[in-house]
Amino acid sequence: MLRGTPVSPGIVVGRVYKYRRGFSVVKRIKLRSAEVKIEVDKFRGACRQAGVEITEIEKTMLRQLPKGQPAPFEAHRMLLDDPAFTGRVEREIKSRRLNASFLVRELLDEYEKKFAALDSPLMRERINDLQDVGGRIIRNLKGEMQPALSDAGEQVILVAEELSPSETTNLLKKRVIGLATDSGGPTAHWAIVARALRIPTVVGLGSLRERTQNGDLIILDARRGTVLIDPSAAQVKRYRSLERDWREEERSLRGLRSLPACTRDGERVGIMVNMEMPEEMETVKEYGADGVGLFRTEFLFVEEIPGEEEQFRIYKELAKRMKKRPAVIRTLDAGGDKFVSKLGQDRELNPFLGLRGIRLCLSNRRLFETQLRAILRASHYGNIQLMFPLISGLAELRQALEVLEHTRQQLARKKIPYNSDMQVGVMIEVPAAALVATALARLVDFFSIGSNDLIQYTLAVDRGNQSISYLYEPLHPAVLRLIDMTVRAAKEGGIHVSICGEMASDPALVPLLVGLGLDSLSVSPAAVPAVKQAIRSMEGRKTRKAVQNILSSDDPELIRRQLERRVRASRRKFGVSYGKGR
């Protein structure tokens, strides 16, 4: 069995089709002086043709994607107009007198080495967009065709190193029932498309291509992020049954999209989504969520440090897309596992305990104020809310609020409109913040519990370290008591409290979170229907009483079994609730 990262949930049993991206072979050709202008014109024509092709692919994809879901090709178009890419190739054709296809390949290789060296999964994924555009230009220069999946056959699980958004257009032919890649991550543009198309997908499997051949039978469980190679007859029978159950549940859950997340006794729980790319904005409506509980801004800082106008444009678009729905923008949370080279960060021996989150922002006030101005300006156009990450105590929070107030005054002096009543909150993701939550609640409008980091810091476990991953336990009594403490502090302070992270997206843990008194859950978009179904199948008052009994236990496994029993009992009793709600 191989383990990876689930991107789009589902279970499928199928045959392997190994897809290998075709890279054109290019030669280094020295040009005569008279050929230089011709080569520049040829390169410009290849770029224009690439733009036309991308537009056509986008039109095809938009016809297949859910209504309102954008096709992620904005980055491709920006590359075609980027002086650092196409402009540089033109300059080098003239200065070095070399052929365009060689120079494009040389530049692609340079970027790939540079991006791969950065400790940023998002940055490494962006090289995929660059390779897609560059490969298209090279093929146009050489008059070659885009490789396709025309010989893939029917009902296959596509196995690849990585994919690009344009390659996913081949998936629309209904030949592919599942996707499994050795590299890549959930923020890749093609992965966003896979989620929108509801194709079960697992990424980061490492060696699946090496360990399989075309036609091999495999089982892809994209709920848990696993792939079974050469399964037994009993495993195939079991998973085909699970696949049928999953497809039936998918059909049932779609009916919940327009219904509120209300318990059987009428208690409303907010269901928000986490997102980090502008292309994901439409998932709020697509999945029937109440808003955006966490809009990560790190993607903006991956390649360059963005200016105020660039940030304002994206935040404003978010505000207008959400209309009256809330959208919580988290200020830059770089550092730790999110290294941004352009910020001039030094490599640290222990980056998770170093200059990250709000600490980094406070140490770079100009950067911080630029982002705050952009967020404040965007708040004029919708229900934008602001959230500070990795707050550890009152001193940090007061400093952040002082910078925010200074930024407000800057805009007021220039008579630039913003929402003076914009909600401001903090992430509770270190034990220190939970322990002083009562004091923090007096200064902010809401809490958002970042469960991933809270677990990591409470248990001293790096969640990305496979050798100690068994210690990463969401149901550890210490973690649950810190969450309970935070919720109680929020209730006493009269402020809203939500939770984001993997805990919130797990339907099996929903009774626990609702029973603890969370006002809203912020989940991955694809998890919205299942989480909503779990809420609509429970009774709030009984769940709270049961959870208080559960909290008295010191055994995570016992807690897990108790929760599973409650979930199974609710499903047997109520199933998927399609009542009118309240």
Q: What is the DSSP string of 125-150?
A: HHHHHHHHHHHHHHHHHHTPPPP--T
* In a domain? residue 28: no
Query: Can you give the CATH number for the domain in which 95 is found?
Result: 1.10.274.10
Return the pLDDT at 271: 95
* In a domain? residue 241: no
H/E element, 321: helix 308-322
Q: Are 206 and 137 members of one domain?
A: no
CB 424 within 8 A of CB 447: no
Checking DSSP bridges between strand 291-295 and strand 11-19, what pairing results, if any? Answer: unpaired
Q: CA-to-CA distance for 78 and 101, rounded, in angstroms?
A: 20
Handedness of CA 549, 550, 553, 558 (dihedral sign): positive
Within 10 angstroms of residue 370's Cβ, the number of other Cβ atoms is: 21
Is residue 198 helix, strand or coil?
A: coil
Query: Can you give the CATH number for the domain in which 465 is found?
Result: 3.20.20.60
Q: Are 447 and 522 members of one domain?
A: yes
Q: CA-to-CA distance for 116 and 575, rounded, in angstroms?
A: 47
Return the pLDDT at 162: 80
Q: Is 47 a known active-site residue?
A: no
* In a domain? residue 504: yes
- pLDDT, tens digit (0-9, with 9 covering 90-100), for 234-273: 999 999 999 988 888 777 777 787 888 999 989 999 999 9
Q: CA-to-CA distance for 286 and 283, rounded, in angstroms?
A: 5
* In a domain? residue 206: yes
Q: Nearest CA to 266 among 545, 504, 580, 513?
A: 580
Among the candidates 92, 125, 142, a domain finishes at 142
Q: Are 177 and 137 members of one domain?
A: no
CA angle 173, 177, 183 (to 5 degrees): 105
Active-site pick, 47, 76, 189, 476: 189
Domain extent at residue 174: 2-21+148-232
Q: Are 163 and 81 members of one domain?
A: no
Return the pLDDT at 161: 84
Query: Can you give the CATH number for the domain in which 154 is found?
Result: 3.50.30.10
Handedness of CA 413, 417, 421, 426 (dihedral sign): negative
Q: Are 212 and 302 members of one domain?
A: no
Q: Are 7 and 80 members of one domain?
A: no
Return the pLDDT at 572: 64
Q: Which residues pair with 449 in a beta bridge?
A: 428, 499
Cα 153 off chain centre by:
31
Q: Are 303 and 339 members of one domain?
A: yes
Return the pLDDT at 582: 36
Q: Are 188 and 317 members of one domain?
A: no
CB 538 within 8 A of CB 573: no
* In a domain? residue 288: yes
Q: Is 189 a known active-site residue?
A: yes
Q: Are 358 and 458 members of one domain?
A: yes
Active-site pick, 47, 262, 361, 500: 500
Q: Are 134 and 192 members of one domain?
A: no
Q: Are 192 and 267 members of one domain?
A: no
Q: CA-to-CA distance for 148 and 393, rounded, in angstroms?
A: 55
Q: CA-to-CA distance for 12 and 5, rounded, in angstroms?
A: 16
Q: What secondary structure does DSSP assign to 348-409, as a single string?
A: -SSGGGSS-THHHHHHSHHHHHHHHHHHHHHGGGS-EEEEESS--SHHHHHHHHHHHHHHHH
Q: Are 226 and 163 members of one domain?
A: yes
Q: CA-to-CA distance for 485 and 481, rounded, in angstroms?
A: 6
**Structural domain total, the chain:** 3
* In a domain? residue 570: yes
Among the candidates 93, 122, 142, a domain finishes at 142
Instruction: Output helix, strand, coil percentages for the chain, rounded to the nearest 5.
Output: 50, 15, 35
Return the pLDDT at 21: 65
Tell me the mean pLDDT per 10 residues along the chain, length 582: 86 87 77 92 91 78 59 70 84 93 88 65 65 84 65 74 69 74 74 76 90 92 90 94 85 79 92 81 83 90 83 94 94 67 58 82 94 98 96 96 97 96 97 97 97 93 70 91 96 97 88 94 87 89 85 84 76 51 36
* In a domain? residue 419: yes
* In a domain? residue 48: yes
Among the candidates 91, 115, 142, a domain finishes at 142
